[in-house]
Amino acid sequence: MSKLVPPHGGKGLVCCLLEGGALDAEKKKAAGLKQIEISSQEKGDLIMMGIGGFSPLNGFMGKADWKSVCEKLTLADGTFWPIPVMLATDEASVKAGEEIALVRNGTLMATMKVTEVFELSEAEKKSECEKVYKGEGPDSAEDKFWAVAMEDHPGVKMVMARQKHCLAGPVKVLSEGGFPEKFPGVYKRPAELRKEMDEKGWKNVAALQLRNPMHRSHEYLCKIAVEVMDGVVIHSLVGALKPGDIPAEVRVDAINTLVKHYFVDKNVIQAGYPLDMRYAGPREALLHATFRQNYGMNYLIVGRDHAGVGDFYGMFEAQVIFDNLPQNAVAGKNLLTQPLKIDWTFYCHKCDGMASLRTCPHTKDDRVILSGTKLRKMLSDGSPVPDHFGREEVLVILRKYYATLTEKVEVKMQQAASGSVM
């Protein structure tokens, strides 16, 4: 009997991925259907619905769910959900009741029974951006947000670029987009990861969300969790990131190296999931917790500026948002995965080790301020990496990657990453 937290929504794992004869039959049918090209983000969302990562969703959202998620953090039926999961197209001929095929760069990804076709006005898309992506940081100030968001916030740009016609309806997923082949042993479906954790006898499990290579702060966060949990899953995004971020295969190699040399193997699992980042800060922290519940993890490590970008969010806004979530009388509709809140962490020379604002009494002049953004900027600029910032075995891998780049993207430093607001 599993000791792990049950999947979100109270319906078990809702998996839309077809296999065997059902897959073959659906592929044949799809050949005769109208083809709709989908975006990279929609592809990742689709795969998550396929493997059960987005349980209880079985398709893209209609307007009632979109509105409720934006305004209330729930689907229209009261089930907790923090970020809209939308499908849009510029194809005006799609009608409700029609079956269509969803395609990404020539690969057949799914079929979909369209139950609703609707439009979101520019004002409605702006409202979504303000409710989902606007935070409490300086870039989100009333007089600044729209002046900088269309240039500097990837999530806002994606929403505002969304095509005119939104399509809702259940899907039958026909492909995992090459992730199992590209990341063997790392890419795991929720059922696979749950089985692995069940075999270890784990009950209380923390997830470390990762989109950057692990530096010393990530390592410290993980080890704090290992001390108080049955185990930790280093659960990294293997979907698409913004320009200037480090590719998934490089990050996976770096994590493998770090785990091999600095962790007790039986207490840690490395896994990957197929989403693109939205950079929605607090709302994305809630999404990360929601699908981690489906993977069997009842805690999510939430540190400084979780899933943030630029200076759009307060440093610990992603922790605070968990304190006042909507509660439904039906327990299964509520979010069960909780935040493991950890303060700003760094290396302190006077403490002679890793510490946090809760444990270190010294000044920022004594501290090595650690952040993924800062590490990427130093590596991209060819600057020396300070002692105690990262493990040398990992830095070797990252320097090798940066040496291959012929064109480098400028990495912008936000206030928190630089340590200027400590």
pLDDT tens digit string along 305-361? Answer: 999 999 999 999 999 999 999 999 999 999 999 999 999 999 999 999 999 999 999
The model's pLDDT over 201-212, given as tens digits with 9 standing for 90+, comes to: 999 999 999 888
Domain termination site, one of 112, 146, 175:
175
Domain count, the chain: 2
Residues 307 and 289 in one domain: yes
Residues whose CB is less than 8 angstroms from the CB of residue 141 and which lie 6 or more positions away in sequence, other chains included: none
Residues 168 and 200 in one domain: no
Residue 389, both tokens = 């910032």
Domain termination site, one of 138, 153, 175:
175
Residue 211: active-site member: yes
Tell whether the torsion through CA atoms of 390, 392, 397 and 401 is positive or negative.
Answer: positive
- Residue % of the chain over a pLDDT of 90: 83
The model's pLDDT over 382-400, given as tens digits with 9 standing for 90+, comes to: 888 888 888 999 999 988 9
Query: What is the pairing mode between strands 299-302 and 338-341?
Result: parallel
Residues 25 and 116 in one domain: yes
- 402 located within any domain: yes
Contact 102, 112 (CB under 8 A): yes
pLDDT at 125: 97
**Buried b or exposed e, range 367-378, using 16+ CB within 10 angstroms:** bbbbbbbbbbbb
Residues 234 and 298 in one domain: yes
pLDDT at 421: 56
| Segment among 18-27, 168-177, 401-410 with least mean pLDDT | 401-410
Tell me which of 212, 294, 298, 334 is the catalytic residue. 212
| Segment among 36-45, 345-354, 400-409 with least mean pLDDT | 400-409
The model's pLDDT over 135-193, given as tens digits with 9 standing for 90+, comes to: 999 999 999 999 999 999 999 999 999 998 999 999 999 999 999 999 999 999 999 99
- 10 located within any domain: no
pLDDT band at 362 (very low <50, low <70, confident <90, very high): very high
Residues 249 and 320 in one domain: yes
The model's pLDDT over 239-298, given as tens digits with 9 standing for 90+, comes to: 887 777 888 999 999 999 999 999 999 999 999 999 999 999 999 999 999 999 999 999
CATH number at residue 330: 3.40.50.620
Residues 212 and 88 in one domain: no
- 133 located within any domain: no
Q: Does residue 419 carry a pLDDT above 60?
A: no
Tell me which of 104, 162, 211, 376 is the catalytic residue. 211
**How many other C-beta atoms are found inside a 10 Å radius of the C-beta of residue 421?**
15
pLDDT at 123: 97
- State the Rg of the chain over Cα: 21
What is the average pLDDT score of the chain? 93
Residues 196 and 168 in one domain: no
* 399 SS3 class: helix
pLDDT at 377: 81
Q: Which domain holds residue 310?
A: 184-418
- 294 located within any domain: yes
- 4 located within any domain: no
Domain termination site, one of 134, 150, 175:
175
Higher pLDDT, residue 348 or 402? 348
Residues 114 and 189 in one domain: no
> Could you tell me which of 240, 247, 262, 251 has the C-alpha nearest to residue 214?
251
* 8 SS3 class: coil
Residues 166 and 222 in one domain: no
Residues 235 and 355 in one domain: yes
Residues 256 and 322 in one domain: yes
* 235 SS3 class: strand
- 156 located within any domain: no
CATH number at residue 92: 3.10.400.10
Residues 166 and 261 in one domain: no
- 151 located within any domain: no
